[in-house]
Amino acid sequence: MIEKAFNPEDFKATGYELIDTLSEYLATTQQNPDKLLVNDYQTPEKQREKWENYDFANGLSEYFKEFLQDSIHIHHPRYMGHQISTTAPIAALAAMMSDFLNNGMGIYEMGQSSVAMEHLVVQRLAQKMGFDDKAGGFLTSGGTLANLTALLAARRKQATANVWQEGNQQPLALMVSEQAHYCVERAVKIMGWGDAGIIKIPVDEQFCLRTDLLQSYYEQAIAQGKEVVAVVGSACSTATGSYDNLEAIADFCVQHNVWFHVDGAHGASAVFSDKHRHKVQGINRADSVVMDFHKTLLVPALATGLVFKDVNDSYNTFAQNAHYLWNDDEEQEWFNFAKRTFETTKFPMGFKVFTVWSYYGDALLEEMIDTIYGLGDTFAQLLQQHPSFELAMPPACNIVCFRYTATHEDLSKVNSLIRQHILAEGKFYIVQALLNGETYLRVTLANPATTAQDLEDLLEHIVQIAQRQVPATKV
Ligand SMILES: Cc1ncc(COP(=O)(O)O)c(C=O)c1O
């Protein structure tokens, strides 16, 4: 079996067929998207049964085609759901190559090119964010892990006790918008700070952290004996795509000498656009920033940048001996990433990012941000002109929340029902969000192939579903 599994000719034949299949698929998503559902939704049980009993009698190519058929089609212009980027085809080729080579590049010797590329990518990202040459960092496996890693560094730097060695000695806490991604709370819980360790600051009508409340919440925390280690700004938040006022948070953090972390997993990529960079003004005053390349910048998941204003802080997060990997524990070696990352064996994500960014240059990434943020504005205009819809708030990026209102029924129930029907029919893929206790429909426009016509058709599709499924419609 081993000889069969490694046969170069079989690999070549199957590989060519697979590339043919994917190229045709890409062409279909561009030229004939109507031939393809965005998501041929089946129940989890049906999918489990299918693969449990799968018979490879028709060969590997057929197997790959079936997997393709049953996948959700991010390249389809009517995919408008969760925050994930369409992948640039050359990034997918790089990903295939790095999977094949399996260079587990936590240390330099295990993937020298990828290590160098990752370093260059992060240095360039730091520059784009406006940091000086003291900044640095690395790539890691997703925004969730990157936020945890940054907050561990914050704890190391700010907490009076050395928690790494002595364990939690006194109540630590951070402050963050109540609209922040759940992974910030998860990080707090992992660090053992409990419910009291996350101080949620209310938001304004644009769902941005109310920076005018930071001082009073801080004073209350201090009065309760808590040590406030960090403030986390969202750039932007997940549900509505709202950008917190980073300058104001930075001022507060300087005044109180606390760590300023920016969760820019979704929206820090605005730094690539002249038009939208102002939304993250103040980002270069953060002590650490997280940004996902896989949410808006054409790179396959996972590929997350974690940038520190002072690269020295990145070396203190995990102080551990690992003599089987490197000689000197204390030495700051930029090229042995495992000293600084959560991962030991590390996926060579720098290669994917470097391939897209260096081959096409900044211009592609800027065009991508301008296009998808522009789609957000186009959709908002369509919603404002339509009598049957309400826009939750003017979008700040490519995330738009809205709801169907032409009914006398309970709006949350109706919109939730609409979303279920959209999922079942599979012609579009959108998601939902809970805002102030009410259910809204939510799109993330991360596919530059989406057109204004697709957005108009989505509204028409929703109206038709509502008229079919909801008895008491107004129009
Ligand atoms: C603001 C924000 N932070 C963090 C995350 C988590 O990122 P990842 O899915 O890469 O772990 C998300 C994902 O939706 C997000 O929107």
pLDDT in tens, 218-240: 999 999 999 999 999 999 999 99
Domain-embedded: residue 25: no
| Mean pLDDT confidence for 449-460 | 98
Q: Compute how many other C-beta atoms are within 10 angstroms of the C-beta atom of residue 272.
A: 23
Domain-embedded: residue 284: yes
Domain-embedded: residue 438: yes
The Å distance, Cα 181 to ligand 1 centre, comes to 7
| Position 475 pLDDT exceeds 60 | no
Does the CB atom of residue 244 touch ligand 1 within 6 A? Answer: no
At which of 319, 338, 359 does a domain end?
359
> Could you list the residue range(s) of the whole structural domain that residue 417 is in?
363-469
Domain-embedded: residue 85: no
On whether both 124 and 152 belong to a single domain, the answer is: yes
Query: What percent of the chain is predicted at pLDDT more than 70?
Result: 98
Nearest ligand 1 atom, CA 238: 16
Predicted confidence at residue 428, as pLDDT, reads: 98
Domain-embedded: residue 77: no
DSSP of 122-171:
HHHHHHHTT--TT-EEEEES-HHHHHHHHHHHHHHHH-SS-HHHH---S-
On whether both 158 and 263 belong to a single domain, the answer is: yes
Q: Which helix (H) or strand (E) holds 8?
A: helix 8-31
| Mean pLDDT confidence for 304-331 | 85
Q: What angle do CA 151, 444, 388 make, to 5 degrees?
A: 135
**Residue 371 tokens, joined:** 């296009």
On whether both 238 and 336 belong to a single domain, the answer is: yes
Q: Compute how many other C-beta atoms are within 10 angstroms of the C-beta atom of residue 120.
A: 15
On whether both 347 and 371 belong to a single domain, the answer is: no
At which of 334, 359, 384 does a domain end?
359
On whether both 237 and 116 belong to a single domain, the answer is: yes
What is the total residue count of the chain? 475
Does the CB atom of residue 238 touch ligand 1 within 6 A? Answer: yes
Domain-embedded: residue 87: no
Mutate to test the pocket of ligand 1, among 176, 288, 290, 295 (most ligand atoms within 8 A of CB): 295
Predicted confidence at residue 155, as pLDDT, reads: 96
At which of 359, 382, 406 does a domain end?
359
> Based on the structure, what is the number of domains in the chain?
2
| Position 296 pLDDT exceeds 90 | yes
pLDDT tens digit string along 401-424? 999 999 999 999 999 999 999 999
On whether both 280 and 213 belong to a single domain, the answer is: yes
The answer to whether 308 touches 340, Cβ cutoff 8 Å, is no
The Å distance, Cα 205 to ligand 1 centre, comes to 22
Q: Which helix (H) or strand (E) holds 258?
A: none
Domain-embedded: residue 207: yes
The Å distance, Cα 138 to ligand 1 centre, comes to 17
Question: Where residue 283 sits, what CATH number does that domain have?
Answer: 3.40.640.10
On whether both 229 and 374 belong to a single domain, the answer is: no
Domain-embedded: residue 411: yes
On whether both 367 and 355 belong to a single domain, the answer is: no
Predicted confidence at residue 473, as pLDDT, reads: 61
Query: What percent of the chain is predicted at pLDDT more than 90?
Result: 94
| Position 164 pLDDT exceeds 50 | yes
On whether both 278 and 402 belong to a single domain, the answer is: no
